[in-house]
Amino acid sequence: MKIQNIRYFSQILYFLLFFTTFFVSVRIFLVLVLIATILGGPFFCGWLCPFGTIQEILFKLGRLLKIPKIKINKKIHFYAVFFRYFSLATTTISLFYLLVIDARVHFLDALRGDALSIIVYSILSFFIVLSLFFDRFFCNYFCIQGATYGLYGMFRIFRIKRNEKTCIDCKLCDKNCPMNIVISSKKYVNSLQCINCFKCTSNCPKRNTLIYKLVDFKNLKEIIKNK
Domains and CATH numbers, the chain: 3-151 (no CATH), 158-225 (3.30.70)
Give the integer Cα–Cα distance in Å for 64 and 68: 11
**Centroid of chain to Cα 170:** 23
Cα–Cα dist 155/48, whole Å = 21
Per-residue b or e along 72-89, where b marks 16 or more CB atoms closer than 10 Å to that residue's CB: beeeebeeebeebbebbe
State the pTM of this model. 0.79
Contacts of 215 (CB under 8 A, 6+ apart): 156, 157, 158, 159, 188, 223
Sequential pLDDT tens for the chain (227 residues): 588 888 888 888 877 777 665 555 567 777 888 899 999 999 999 998 988 999 999 999 999 999 998 888 888 998 999 989 888 887 776 655 555 556 666 666 666 555 566 777 778 889 989 999 999 999 999 998 899 999 999 889 999 999 999 999 999 999 999 999 999 988 899 899 999 999 999 999 999 999 999 887 666 555 555 55
∠ CA(185), CA(189), CA(195), 5° rounding? 130
Asked if 56 contacts 178 with a C-beta cutoff of 8 angstroms, the reply is yes
User: Helix (H, G, I), strand (E, B), or coil: what is residue 184?
Assistant: coil
Sign of CA dihedral 152, 135, 57, 158: negative
Using CA atoms, how far apart are residues 176 and 210, in angstroms rounded to an integer? 13
Minimal CA–CA distance to 178: which of 143, 209, 213? Answer: 143
In the chain, what is the straight-line distance between the N-terminal and C-terminal CA atoms, in Å? 32
> Residue 159 in contact with residue 213, Cβ under 8 Å?
yes
Q: What's the CA gap between 227 and 223, in Å, rounded?
A: 8
CB-count exposure of residue 147 (10 Å: 0-12, 13-18, 19+): buried
